[in-house]
Structure 1
């Protein structure tokens, strides 16, 4: 019997690669996306389109009410999105307090109800300097607590925890993935800005892989 897993799916490069990796590893993924009050919904539109293309069950949940509790981020509030390299101190403006703990907790609850054995999410080494909830020590503690939080043990799986964005793209290109189905830019305009930290990291990954990004940029 194929193992069912829940993939926290933002619509970006990392979660797209994780979702496809789960499929190729023989899992039966259900994609779970969240509207948590982010400044644009474009990534959710891309998530929906990719799941339709992959014929993967996809659930989008509106939890935007939490924005009144966990504001103060450039991703949720009326704060300018910082430009420049992904690891610059200014990128801390994009931290949404406790986001991944909240999303993982909800995904684990969904996993129990769906009789799924694991929750996958796309933390990677490039996030470690900026986002505490993408660091190995956080993932380890979440694995421990999610093993005892319910009668059913749910594993937290991070296939690329110790890999860079470039490594993720390398693996995705090896799998033959088409990244036109992903959105990375922190701005939600018609085209990607090419200037925010997320765009810069994405473009750098394509450059280091000697590949062409299929997205259009301003």
Structure 2
């Protein structure tokens, strides 16, 4: 099944690309530049495509992203420290981001003859991001069947939607994902900050998965105080 993977360059989506490649299903990697302040992640997405020897499509959405104001990921707003399960993290929502990206991805997949589009949304995203939840993915898949009816049959593949990030680490490790070649931090510095929601979640996921974390964090121990139970599990 020829599958296009929507890939930000982060741990989840790069792991998904490696899982699809291991299964012999990866057809291409699609990434989106929407003016995100941490756009260095796109370099890691391109490296994944080169490593897995598939075409890389970088879609320029900067003009669209400029209109999606009010997010700490696109505007001059401080990215908050702490766990995703905190209301302060709602400032990182980019409205309709996944819906927009997936719509474009389905168009490309249909044009290129792919059978599916895969995205790495997972259970840890549900609290903050409405377009990462199971209800959204089911509705979107139904909408695309109608949108492409009679032209193409492209499925939406969301293997992690009911899983935890630690499950993704385990799956990625089994598929040989080079985790050091992924970028998660929303602050986009020289190294992962270790304090923003995605850094905390990343650090916690490796701990819960029992997999060595190769990431260089500016504050490698902050996650313990930011996670419930001090990161024990």
Q: TM-score range by the shorter chain?
A: over 0.9
Q: Which residue of 1 aligns with 2:177?
A: 177
Quick one: distance in 1 between partners of 2:65 and 2:22? 35
What does 1:35-114 align with in structure 2 at a 5 Å threshold? 35-114=33-112
**Deviation string, structure 1 residues 117-151 (Cα, Å, up to 9, x no partner):** 11110110000111000000000001101112022
- Secondary structure, counterpart of 1:29 in structure 2: strand
Deviates more, 1:188-197 or 1:3-12: 3-12
| RMSD (CA atoms) | 1.1
Output the TM-score relative to the length of structure 2: 0.90
Q: Which residue of 1 aligns with 2:227?
A: none
Quick one: distance in 2 between partners of 1:140 and 1:126? 18
What's the offset of the Cα at 1:152?
A: 1.1
Tell whether the 8 Å contact from 2:5 to 2:26 is kept in structure 1 after alignment. no
Tell me whether 1:216 sits opposite 2:216 in the alignment: yes
Q: Which residue of 2 aligns with 1:138?
A: 136
Tell me whether 1:202 sits opposite 2:205 in the alignment: no
- Secondary structure, counterpart of 2:156 in structure 1: strand
Tell me whether 1:120 sits opposite 2:125 in the alignment: no
The number of residues matched between the two structures is 216
Quick one: distance in 2 between partners of 1:166 and 1:143? 26
What's the offset of the Cα at 1:107?
A: 0.3
Deviates more, 1:105-114 or 1:18-27: 18-27
Quick one: distance in 1 between partners of 2:199 and 2:165? 12
Q: Gaps spanning 5+ residues in structure 1: where?
A: none
Q: Which residue of 1 aligns with 2:230?
A: none
Quick one: distance in 2 between partners of 1:74 and 1:122? 21
Q: Which residue of 1 aligns with 2:221?
A: none
- Secondary structure, counterpart of 1:116 in structure 2: coil
Quick one: distance in 2 between partners of 1:75 and 1:157? 26
- Secondary structure, counterpart of 1:166 in structure 2: helix
Output the TM-score relative to the length of structure 1: 0.96
